[in-house]
Structure 1
Amino acid sequence: MANITVSASNVTVSQINKGVPAKAALSMTPCFFFLYINVVMLITLRSKAIFRDTSRYILFTNMLFADSLNLVYCMLMYIFAIIRLYMRSIVCALVMLAGAVIALISPLSLAMMALERYIAICFPLRHAEITMCRRTGVAIAIVWALGSVQAFTNLILLLISGPLVSTLDFCSGLSMPGMEAYTDVNNAFTIIYFLSVGLTIVYTYIGIVVAARSASSDKCSAAKAHRTVLLHLIQLGLCLSSILFDSIIALVRAHLDLFAALNVQYVMFLGLIIFPRCLSPLIYGLRDQTFRPLFLYYFSFGFCASN
C-alpha cells in the first residue's frame, strides 16, 4: 500500500516543505487528467449494449473501476501527507483495509481477462456459453471476494492485537497495531496473489500461442489474443511495482538522509503508483477498434466523429 509520510529528524521544516507546492501540482495534474480519461471510458462502456453484454468489456469495466478507485485512494493519501493530516487510529485502520482490497482487484481482474481470451481462442464453440453475463458477474464477485480476504485477515489481526487507541498520527502501515504480524501477512498475501495471477497469465499465454499454431484456428484472432495476454503480463508487473512501493521506500530511508529520501519517494510515487494506474486502461482500451472511436467521441465532447 502506498503512503507518503513525513517525519522530522535533523532536517528543518522549511527544507521538507521546499518545492512541495510544485511537486503537488506536478503530481495531481496528470492524476486528474487520467482520472477524467477513466471516467470517460466508464461512460463509454455503459453507452452501448455490446459493451454492457460482452464478457471482455464487462471484465474491463471492472478493472477500470478498480484502477480509478485506486488512483483516487493514492491521490487522497498523497494529499493527506502533503497537508500533514493526522487521523485517528481507528479511521486509519479502516482506510488501510479499504486500500488493501482495492489494490488487489486489478491483478485479479487481469487473470480473469486472460482466462476469457484463453477460452475465446481455445474453446471458441463454448465461449458464448462459458462467458455469458451471469457467469461473468459471478467471476467478478469472486474477484472482489478474493481481494477482500487479505483485508479481513488484517481486520482479525487488528481485533486480536488489542483495542485500537484513538490517537492522532499519520496514516500508514507503519502506524498499524501489531506491525510485524501485519507486514508478514501482507507479504505472504502479495506473494500468493501475484504468483497465482502470474502463473495463470503465463498458462493462458502459452495455451493461446499453441492454439495459434494449429491449422484450425483463426490466426488473426489468436495473434491479437496472445498480444493482449502479453500486455496483461506487463500490466501485472506494473501492479506489482506499486505493491512493492512501501518496501522500496523503507530501503531508501535506511540508506539516505530524510531530505534525499523524500525526493526519491516523490519520484517513485509518480513512477510506481501514478504511472501504472494511468497506463493500464490505455494499454487495453485504446487498442480495441470497437471501443476506441466511441471513446474518442466522448473524450473530445463530440468533435471526433464516432463510427
Structure 2
Amino acid sequence: MAQYATQYTNLSNIPAPPLHLPWNEQVVLVQILVGIFLYVNCLMICTFFKKESFRTDTRYILFAQTLLMDSALMVFTDVALIWNYFQITVNCIPCVIMCTIMACLTLGTPLTLVAMCLERYVAICMPLRHASISTTRTRLLGLVLIWCLSAIPALIILLAFVSSVPLSIYTSYMVCSLEMMMIYNWQVQIRAGLFQFYFIVMSITIGFTYVKIMAAAKGASSNKKSASKGLRTVVLHTFQLLLCLIQLLCPYVEMAVMNIDYMLFINVRYSNFVIFSLAPRCLSPLVYGLRDEKFFVVLRYYAVFGLSKKDFCFCKLYQKNLKHEKISPLNGK
C-alpha cells in the first residue's frame, strides 16, 4: 500500500510537468456529458427556487439537495479525472481538502436518496401521519443528519491521513486522488469497513421501504396505468440507488488494477466514472424532474425563458391551485 501511495506522490517541492497526452475521444465525451448534466441540473435548481410550493415540499427539498450534491461532486470528480489523465500534480494541502469534500459528497447522494425513500414510505404507507411528520423542523433535522452522516467517514479518513504522514508531505506535490490518502493497510481497512457498514444499512433500508411501497401501490391503485407508472418509478429509482451504492466499491477495484497496469487503471477509472457516477446522477432528473408533471411544466416554462404561452397558462394555473391540490403519492404527481 505504501508503494501505491508513493506511486501517486511526487515528493519534490517543485511541481512536475504534466504529460503531454492528447485529448482523445473518451476525455472529450466525458466533458460533453458533464456539461449537459450540469446545465440540466442548474436549470432544475433554478426551477426549484422559483416556486415557493417546491421549497416547502419535503420531496422537492430532498430532490434539490441531491441535485446540488451531484453537481458539486461531478465538478470535483471531473477535475480529478483530468488531473489523473494528464498527470498534473498539485500541492498536498488543497488536494487533501478536495479529496475530503469528494468523500463527503460521495456518500451524501445515496444517503439523500435513502431519505427520499423514507419520505415516500411515510407518504404512502402512513398518509394520515405524513403532514405531522413532514414539518419544517423535521426537514431541517433530516438535512443536518444527512450531512453529518456523510461527513463522518470523510473526517475519519482525513484524521487517519493526518496522523500517519510526516509534516514534509504537506509541501510536496502529487497527482491528486483519494487513494493517495491511503498510506497504510489499516487505513484501507478502516475505509472499507465504513463503506461496507453504510452499504449494508442503506441496502436494508431501501429494500424495506420499496417492498412496502410496491405492496401499497399494488393494493391502492385504482387503475393499471397509475400502478404501472408508480412501479416504473420504483424500478428506475432502485436502479439509480444500486449504481450509487456500487460506486462505493469502485475504489477497491481500481486499487487492485493500479498494481497491475497504470493505463488499465486509467481506463477502469474512466468506465467507473461514466457507469457509476454519471449514469445514476442522470437518472435523478429523469425520475424526479421530467416524470413529475407539476415540476416538468414549470421546468419547461423556464427552459424556454417564458416564451411559451401554453406553459405560462399552466404555470399560473398550478400556482393558483397548488395549495388546494391533493397530490397522489403513488405516481409522483
TM-score past 0.5 threshold? yes
C-alpha distance in structure 1 between counterparts of 2:218 and 2:267, whole Å: 50
Instruction: State yes or no: 1:202 paired with 2:204.
Output: no
* Change over 3 Å in CA distance of 1:258–1:156 after alignment to 2: closer
1:178 aligned partner: 183
2:70 aligned partner: 67
Instruction: State yes or no: 1:58 paired with 2:58.
Output: no
Question: 1:198-232: CA deviations, max 9, x gaps?
Answer: 11111111222333455xx4556776555444433
Alignment root-mean-square deviation, CA: 2.6
Instruction: State yes or no: 1:271 paired with 2:268.
Output: no
Aligned with residue 123 of structure 2, among 120, 123, 140: 120
C-alpha distance in structure 1 between counterparts of 2:159 and 2:272, whole Å: 31
- Please state whether the residue corresponding to 1:20 is helix, strand or coil: coil
Instruction: State yes or no: 1:291 paired with 2:286.
Output: no
* Alpha-carbon distance, 1:6 to partner: 8.3
C-alpha distance in structure 2 between counterparts of 1:201 and 1:281, whole Å: 20
Point out the more displaced range, 199-208 or 163-172: 163-172
1:238 aligned partner: 243
Instruction: State yes or no: 1:35 paired with 2:24.
Output: no
* Alpha-carbon distance, 1:102 to partner: 0.5
- Please state whether the residue corresponding to 1:87 is helix, strand or coil: strand
For residues 99-138 of structure 1, the aligned pairs below 5 Å read: 99-138=102-141
Conservation of the 8 A alpha-carbon contact between 1:120 and 1:127: yes
- Please state whether the residue corresponding to 2:29 is helix, strand or coil: helix
* Change over 3 Å in CA distance of 1:154–1:259 after alignment to 2: closer
- Please state whether the residue corresponding to 1:169 is helix, strand or coil: strand
C-alpha distance in structure 2 between counterparts of 1:176 and 1:245, whole Å: 16
1:23 aligned partner: 26
Point out the more displaced range, 24-33 or 38-47: 24-33
* Alpha-carbon distance, 1:92 to partner: 1.9
* Alpha-carbon distance, 1:261 to partner: 4.4
* Change over 3 Å in CA distance of 1:151–1:266 after alignment to 2: closer
| Unpaired stretches in structure 2, ≥5 consecutive residues | 1-6, 10-18, 315-333
Aligned with residue 193 of structure 2, among 188, 194, 199: 188
Question: 1:141-174: CA deviations, max 9, x gaps?
Answer: 1101100111121222123224442211111233
Instruction: State yes or no: 1:280 paired with 2:289.
Output: no
C-alpha distance in structure 2 between counterparts of 1:258 and 1:99, whole Å: 22
C-alpha distance in structure 2 between counterparts of 1:17 and 1:251, whole Å: 26
* Change over 3 Å in CA distance of 1:111–1:238 after alignment to 2: same
* Alpha-carbon distance, 1:115 to partner: 0.7
2:321 aligned partner: none
Conservation of the 8 A alpha-carbon contact between 1:241 and 1:272: yes
Number of positions where the alignment pairs a residue of Structure 1 with one of Structure 2: 292
Conservation of the 8 A alpha-carbon contact between 1:55 and 1:131: yes
* Alpha-carbon distance, 1:260 to partner: 4.5
TM-score between the two structures when normalised by the length of structure 1: 0.85
2:173 aligned partner: 168
| Unpaired stretches in structure 1, ≥5 consecutive residues | 8-15
C-alpha distance in structure 2 between counterparts of 1:197 and 1:219, whole Å: 31
C-alpha distance in structure 1 between counterparts of 2:294 and 2:68, whole Å: 20
Identity of counterpart residues, as a percentage?
34
C-alpha distance in structure 2 between counterparts of 1:225 and 1:132, whole Å: 25
